[in-house]
Chains A and B, each alone.
Chain A
Amino acid sequence: MKSRLLGMMRKEFIQMWRDRITMAMMLFMPMMLLGIIGWAINTDVKHMPTAVFDQSRTRESRDLLHTFANSQYFNLDYYVDSYEQVTRLIDSGRAKVGIIFPPDYARLLKQQRATQVQVIVDASDPLVATSAVNAANAIGQVGSLQIASGTLQRSAGRVPPIAPLDVRVRAWYNPDQVSAIYIIPGLLGAILMQTTITIIAMVVVRERERGTLEALIVSPLRRWELMIGKIVPNVLMAYAQMTFALAFGVWLFDIPVRGSLPLLYFLSLFFIMGTLGLGILLSTLAKTQQQAMQMSYFIFIPSIYLSGVLFPIEGMPPLARAVAYIIPLTYYLQILRGIILKGIGISYLWTQLLVLTAIGIVLISASILRFRKKLG
């Protein structure tokens, strides 16, 4: 029994090692994805073309416009004379942002009364909208402080009852949630899931395609030996991939690992077992390696969109949320973010551990049952 299982595992390792392309893909795909998210995709959009309708035409309004320009988020390309012109520029796409000063801006400011500057943002591009809204909010705060401090000096220490300047913008969502640091642990989980499912499914289907499975079935090799022989090398490979991706994230993006790494590795095992079980289950359904590949995407897509990698589960409608809670990645994500970003310990992660164990047991048992040692 020992010789059979060891022989099976040794064979899997040799095959993995010989298949350099798959190996390289497993190790470098996370690097590529993290690189893209970390560098190429910049959620901060700068130098947005801006139209200004300044009805105040005072030193005060020009001061605030300077602050907008200096922030580098806004290029004050158009100065116009009507509200309609602002709208037209935004509609035509030539301007992404409009800034409108009321006629009484300077007068209200001098009287230490609240005044409003309207900032219109082209919301059809959410990234532009988010950037503009955040930048304008920041300027509004900075501006109100400066102006407030300016008036303070003149009125001899009397704090105005309300912030005198109010830049009115519509907040979309909190952009801090989509920062690289937040998204990288999620991606790590998604990549780990995708590669483990795909690779084990393809490895099993390849045996079937090439006829070697037939030879294994007529041999005294037991079904569980075949399974474990396939699973163990893949678990180790998944760990290697995870380590590689994590190191890359820490090194290049300063991902803080606040919690216990041994705990993370331990809990990851339960997730990996589940995804490998799922992969073997797919291999019993797929006839060719291509089919196995396609099926894995069928799992990957809902997983990545519903598990909370990209969008928080809390904002989903009840049905989507119900689906999210049967996806293993949902729980693993909570573990990843919990340990890496929040630094929480096992006491907060029992639920996730139990659910992943349950899912893993169900998937592996189902795959062993479906994977009968027969051909037809």
Chain B
Amino acid sequence: MAEIDRDTYAVVTKGLTKRFGKIVAVDHVDLTIRRGEVYGFLGPNGAGKSTTIRMLCGLLDPTEGRGYVLGHDITTEPERIKEKIGYMSQRFSLYEDLTVRENLDFYASIYSVPKEIKQTRIEQMIQMADLSGREGELAAHLSGGWKQRLALGCSIIHKPQLLFLDEPTAGVDPVSRRNFWDLIYRLSEEGITIVATTHYMDEAEHCDSLGFIYQGRITAQGSREEIKANALKGGVLEIDCQPMREATQLLEQLPGVAEVVRFGNTVHLVIEAGGPTPTEVEARLTSEGLKVNRAEVTTPSIEDIFVSFVGLADRRSLRAQLRRMREGGV
């Protein structure tokens, strides 16, 4: 790898592939993650997010392809990488029978945090996780949000250059999720590169760059603005009309409409480039005798954008999958 790449990029992969028997979990993934950015790795469950992260951390060997983390080859120098990265998984990896302080102390020692600064570091982490006064409690007695912050503390106690977060907010209440992202921003300001996987599409808003992964393949990648600017040239229309069922059926027949998605009491139309304008859609519906309250261009959600990168055939099932995960919180 060229010297310049090492300084610019925290993670680079080329054709990274993982097969489990006949199943291809990760299929020739090319990633470029810049140093210092917050990179969101988005996709539904089973898309290959965690498998990719695990290969980058040295938990799994790739079947094919290459990967460099902080300039080190993931297959030949995993031990060099391990000293410089932090990793926090969805399962939080805490010892439930150890206290808050003992957990931090343990992770500090296995990451060889020097004795002189160990206590200060532990105090910092307790502060950060807002766990002051609960240092002596067993990790088992902490609830979701606290556990999550303690797990974060344990994974950054050695001040890593790069932090991998694998579904860090799964199963945690919305308030804790927001607090957690605030912490992540602060870490990012300190210069730590963050790579987070998530299936909550709204969390993409917290990221500088995004990578979409679906069925083991990267469908889109780039800065958030780039992706938003380049995706959905035709835009998304929000239609509020009665009766909804007939409107939906009608709109699905309309040329230039890629997708019709029920969105609460309204319908979102994903329009292809050169597709109908709001006025045209309204005219069409009115001509069929439907009552249109509102028809206007709206900002596409990250979910709309993500889905738009997936082949037409898979869109309906992907939408359903994302909705289930959003509602189920899993």
Residues of A that sit less than 8 Å from B by CB: 1, 3-4, 6-8, 10-11, 14-15, 18-19, 210-212, 214-221, 374-376
Contact = CB atoms under 8 A, between A and B. Distances in A.
Instruction: Across the A-B interface, give the 4 residue pairs with the lowest CB-CB distance, nearest first.
Output: A7-B109, A211-B91, A215-B93, A218-B87
Nearest to A225: B110
Given A15-B98, A18-B97, A214 B89 contact: yes
A218 B106 contact: no
Contacts of A214: 59, 87, 89, 91, 93
A18 B141 CA distance: 14
Contacts of A19: 97
Contacts of A215: 87, 89, 93, 107, 154-155
Interface stretch (B36-44, B78-86, B289-297): B78-86
B61 A11 contact: no
A11 B109 CA distance: 10
Interface of B: 20, 54, 57-61, 79, 82-83, 85, 87, 89, 91-98, 102, 105-113, 115, 154-155
Nearest to B85: A218
B83 A6 contact: no
Given A215-B89, A220-B79, A375-B54, A7 B106 contact: yes
20 contacts: A1-B112, A4-B110, A7-B106, A7-B108, A7-B110, A10-B106, A11-B102, A18-B97, A18-B98, A212-B93, A214-B59, A214-B87, A214-B93, A216-B110, A217-B58, A217-B59, A219-B107, A220-B111, A375-B60, A376-B60
A210 B91 contact: yes
Contact of A8 (B20, B61, B97, B110): B110
Contacts of A375: 54, 59-60
Contact of A11 (B20, B91, B106, B115): B106
Q: Is the interface of A mostly helix, strand, loop or mixed?
A: helix
Contacts of B93: 210-212, 214-215
Nearest to B151: A215
B57 A3 contact: no
A215 B164 CA distance: 12
Given A15-B98, A211-B92, 12 more contacts: A7-B109, A10-B109, A15-B95, A15-B97, A211-B89, A211-B91, A214-B89, A214-B91, A215-B87, A215-B107, A219-B82, A374-B60
A25 to B, nearest CB: 16
Given A220-B83, A374-B61, A376-B60, A212 B111 contact: no
B20 A376 contact: yes
B53 to A, nearest CB: 10
Contacts of A8: 109-110
Contact of A219 (B20, B96, B110): B110
B171 to A, nearest CB: 13
Given A218-B58, A218-B59, A375-B59, A6 B91 contact: no
Contacts of A217: 58-59
A161 to B, nearest CB: 78
Contact of B82 (A1, A18, A220): A220
A100 B114 CA distance: 87
A212 B96 CA distance: 10
Contacts of B112: 1, 3-4, 220
Contacts of B82: 218-220
Contacts of B58: 217-218
A11 B98 contact: yes
A3 B59 contact: no
Contacts of A18: 97-98
Report which residue of B61, B93, B94, B98 has the largest number of chain A beta carbons within 10 angstroms of its beta carbon. B93
Nearest to B99: A14
A216 to B, nearest CB: 7
A23 to B, nearest CB: 12
A210 B139 CA distance: 13
B136 to A, nearest CB: 13
Nearest to B102: A14
Given A18-B97, A211-B92, A218 B110 contact: no
Given A214-B89, A218-B82, A375-B59, A4 B109 contact: yes
Contacts of B87: 214-215, 218
Report which residue of A14, A211, A220 has the largest number of chain B beta carbons within 10 angstroms of its beta carbon. A220
B60 A218 contact: no
Contacts of B107: 215, 219
A19 to B, nearest CB: 7
Contacts of B89: 211, 214-215
A85 to B, nearest CB: 69
Nearest to A226: B110
Contacts of B60: 374-376
Contact of A212 (B59, B83, B95, B155): B95
A364 B280 CA distance: 76
B102 A3 contact: no
A14 B136 CA distance: 13
B282 to A, nearest CB: 53
A215 B98 CA distance: 15
A211 B88 CA distance: 11
Contacts of B54: 375
Contacts of B102: 11, 14
B61 A218 contact: no
Nearest to B115: A3
A369 to B, nearest CB: 16
A4 B154 CA distance: 15
A193 B96 CA distance: 28
A374 B61 CA distance: 8
Contacts of A218: 57-59, 82, 85, 87
A152 to B, nearest CB: 77
Contacts of B97: 14-15, 18-19
Contacts of B111: 219-220
A21 to B, nearest CB: 12
